[in-house]
Amino acid sequence: MKFFASCGKGLEYLLADELLALGCKRATAAIAGVNVEGELVDAQKAVLWSRVASRVLWPIAEFDCPDEHALYAGVAALPWPEHLADGDTIAVDAHVSGDGLTHARYAAQRVKDAVVDVMRDATGARPDVDVEHPDLRLNLVVRKGRAIVSIDLGGGPLHRRGWRQQQGEAPLKENLAAAVLLRGRWPQVYADGGALLDPMCGSGTLLIEGALMAADVAPGLLRHGGFPPTRWKGFDEAAWARLRSEALAREEAGRAALRPAFFGRDSDPHATRVARDNEVMAGLAGLIDLRVAGVDSLAPDTFADGVPERGLAVCNPPYDIRLAADPALYRALGDGLRNAVPGWRASLLCGDAELAHATGLRAQKKYQLFNGAIECTLIVVDPVAPARREAPVGAQAPLGDGAQMVANRLRRNLRRLKPWRQREDVACFRAYDADLPEYAAAIDVYTTDEATPRTFLHVQEYAAPAEIPEPVQRRRLNELMAAAREVFEVPREHVALKTRTRGKGGSKYGRFDQRGEFIVVREGDARLRVNLFDYLDTGLFLDHRPLRLRIAAEAEDTRFLNLFGYTGAATVQAAVGRARATTTVDLSATYLQWCADNLAENGIGGARHKLVQADAVSWLEADRGEYDLVFCDPPTFSNSKRAGDFDVQAEHVRLLRAAVDRLSTDGVLYFSNNFRRFKLDEAAVAEFARFEEISAATIPPDFARHARIHRCWRLVRR
């Protein structure tokens, strides 16, 4: 059976690892959650033991849901007396997207109406609604015209552990606190005899969560007063009793062995009083050393018995509109930790990359997480203050004026793009595109889609004017590279540099690495393989991101054709968007294999997805298939022994005529190319197609400075 465990964005891989450790058969990261395979007892165990999950949802129905009437009918068709006892209360949480249903509260109301009507007809009694403490909490998700109705096995948010009586001005949810601790490897630090320090502890969330983690206390034990978390009739109460009995035995042993290794400081006396009250409610009275002190007072004598040899410093310094972020405070935090615990590890949840940078600490790992709606940067530092040593020959020197200018521009670009990247969940983007003319290069950022995301940079040098001396070009490129490594804090081996070298016939790209190294990145719901080092291009044209996502949105139940398919990124988006069938045409066997690998990366394959090695124009003119959605992105120019020369300006009318001939009655063709001087022969094309240029809608914000990076038209049959 499959179920879904939700979590905050950025915690998906951490949650997947946790659920596998709890015994689930399979756990696959999705967006803001994990798809899990396991039995009902596995889901109930997750309710009791997951420290990272927000909710555990057990699906009971999935059906087509184009509108509110279908929603009501689908819910009303369920045998609610088998799920809900007479007299039980209900609540419904809803999340909807798409055009059919646009208001979550209204969708929740329709679900409630259907349940109430079925129960009233079957039992004569009408269930009441209890939003806070229902006997049965339902969850509805409507996406792409499909509805999933689930039982919320935890009865509500799992971050509520049951011990919090009071909270500070900007409280940290317990499951996010657990993520900060787990990323800092706190369980291993404690097992090795280490201590935990929070120098800005607020209401004590990180310290209490860390202590309960060290004591092996199941996070769900204190919820619901010992009763099952739901009165759903399908809930296995006998299995729950066994799970809870085992958890109580583990808690008793863990608390007995727990040693006092927890230190909290805060400059606000009220916050420390709240932390003490929460400490008592969590059953930890006397185990946490809580004192009123600011970060500027951090020193080795912070610890009465001397600084423990090992430890983890954790902190959630202020960064939102309630507690205004102050870079000076972050600098004081970094200075204090270097002074007090230089040999420890640190896991710090900062407001953003700039505030993390302000600490002055060199992060070994960075993670993008969300505290509610606020995007944050979690940095892991180990150790806090590395031992000083002589700089090796060739070590990177402090940035000079030119490099500092580039670094400032990069940080400015990152600030400008941040709201868009957060809103669209963009993992790969262009961060710099010759913004400063003398530093003529493009810098693209690729973040891997894996449990511990890695950041790579793809840097392409542009041809400099002939009058610029080659030594000046080299110096400027070195300054740009130094700035990029400084801003993104990536190791040299994560930077792919494509440089131009002088040679006969003018300027050309130099030899590339042959590393055979592919990384997997995410775009929308698709996972795509890219190669940053071995080719001029990476396998993913970032400027076509909006067009590929448009294809995904329009692909459901279509026959999709990808001409000049390259590595098949558009094909994957169509397949992920539930296309009925796909056909990808390209002359290169290498690209077609890459496309096959991309499809396999998403669990897609079989006869419905054809790969054709052929010249696209000749194949089109011979083909007799019919397609509902076509993407055509030809090269500007190519020559091939098999297909001869191709020039997009000269051949585009022939190409488009052949492609439009293959469209179904309501079919759509998207035609794009990157030839900057391209001119569509409108009179010729108008003879067989209606068309409109949609270039502006397909240029993403990271390419806005070069709005003619490509041009795009939408065509339909005349």
Is it the case that residue 74 has pLDDT exceeding 50? yes
Considering only residues 325 and 101, tell me which one the structure prediction assigns the higher pLDDT.
101
- What are the structure tokens assigned to 238, written together? 């006998």
Domain 2-152 annotated CATH 3.40.640.10: no
Considering only residues 515 and 233, tell me which one the structure prediction assigns the higher pLDDT.
233
> Among residues 543, 541, 547, which one has the least CA distance to residue 567?
541
Cite the residue boundaries of each domain of the chain with CATH code 3.40.50.150.
174-215+258-381, 541-717
Confidence at 643, pLDDT banded by 50, 70, 90: low
Segment 396-421 mean pLDDT: 86
Cite the residue boundaries of each domain of the chain with CATH code 3.30.2130.30.
2-152
Topology of domain 420-532, CATH = Transcription Regulator spoIIAA (3.30.750)
Instruction: State pTM to two decimals.
Output: 0.61
Sheet containing 455-461: order of strands = 428-433, 441-447, 455-461, 495-498
Which one-letter DSSP state was computed for residue 453? -
Cite the residue boundaries of each domain of the chain with CATH code 3.30.750.80.
420-532
Confidence at 373, pLDDT banded by 50, 70, 90: confident
- What are the structure tokens assigned to 230, written together? 């739901």
In the chain, the amino acid numbered 11 is: L
Is it the case that residue 504 has pLDDT exceeding 80? no
pLDDT of 117-164, one tens digit each?
999 999 999 999 999 899 999 999 999 899 999 999 999 999 999 898
> Among residues 516, 172, 507, 98, which one has the least CA distance to residue 320?
172
* Helix or strand (DSSP H, E) at 347: strand 345-350
Q: Which residues contact 223 (CB under 8 A, 6 or more apart)?
A: 154, 155, 158, 160, 161, 162, 229
Cα 93 from Cα 81, distance rounded (Å): 20
User: 174-215+258-381: which CATH architecture?
Assistant: 3-Layer(aba) Sandwich (3.40)
Is it the case that residue 518 has pLDDT exceeding 60? yes
Spell out the alpha helix ranges (H) of 230-282.
237-257, 269-281
Confidence at 318, pLDDT banded by 50, 70, 90: confident
pLDDT of 326-358, one tens digit each?
778 888 999 999 999 999 999 999 988 878 888
- What are the structure tokens assigned to 381, written together? 């530092």
- What are the structure tokens assigned to 346, written together? 């640190």
Give the CATH superfamily of 541-717: Vaccinia Virus protein VP39 (3.40.50.150)
Residue 700 CB neighbours (<10 A):
20
- Residues 44 and 65 sit within 8 Å (Cβ to Cβ): no
Cα 510 from Cα 445, distance rounded (Å): 21
Q: What is the pLDDT of residue 225?
A: 76
Is it the case that residue 508 has pLDDT exceeding 50? no
- Residues 551 and 563 sit within 8 Å (Cβ to Cβ): no
pLDDT of 195-253, one tens digit each?
999 999 999 999 999 999 999 999 999 887 778 999 999 999 999 999 999 999 999 99
Q: What is the pLDDT of residue 514?
A: 63
Cα 129 from Cα 141, distance rounded (Å): 19
Mean pLDDT of the chain: 91
